[in-house]
């Protein structure tokens, strides 16, 4: 009788660790799915935005996050001058640029 109960305890212990692994597995899978569906694409967009901001140069036509559309007339490290109308310039942060327009989009400036 002692031997049979010892086998029963060993079988129960193996089943217990297996159930613990199966309990943690859905959580691990959820984090893997979240990484590939949310975190990784967001990091890619941030990298593309940073490259676009670093590539800005005088004469580029841009749209800012505030909705202003204009042509870059002067670029500094953190700021740039944006001509939004003939003879009207505003100073904006480089990080405020959301889109670089194709050359020749702004005809009136």
pLDDT 10s digits, 53-89? 999 999 999 999 999 999 999 999 999 999 999 999 9
Cβ pair 85, 100 in contact under 8 A:
no
Helices (H), ranges, the chain:
2-34, 40-54
pLDDT at 96: 95
CA distance 68 to 14: 66
What is the reported pLDDT for 14? 53
Distance CA 58, CA 81 (A): 9
Distances (CA, A) of 79 to 54, 68, 97: 12, 15, 11
Tell me which of 9 and 27 has the higher pLDDT. Answer: 27
pLDDT by residue (tens digit) across 4-18?
655 555 554 556 788
pTM: 0.67
């Amino acid at each position: 009788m002692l031997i049979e109960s010892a086998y029963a305890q060993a079988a129960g212990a193996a089943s217990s660790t297996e159930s613990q692994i199966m309990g943690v597995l859905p959580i691990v899978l959820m984090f893997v799915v979240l990484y590939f569906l949310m975190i990784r694409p967001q990091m890619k967009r941030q990298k593309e935005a940073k490259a676009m901001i670093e590539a800005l140069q005088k004469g580029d036509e841009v749209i800012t996050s505030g909705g202003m559309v204009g042509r870059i007339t002067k670029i500094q490290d953190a700021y740039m001058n944006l001509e939004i109308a003939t003879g009207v310039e505003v100073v904006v942060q480089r990080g405020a640029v959301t889109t670089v327009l194709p050359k020749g989009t702004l005809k009136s400036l």
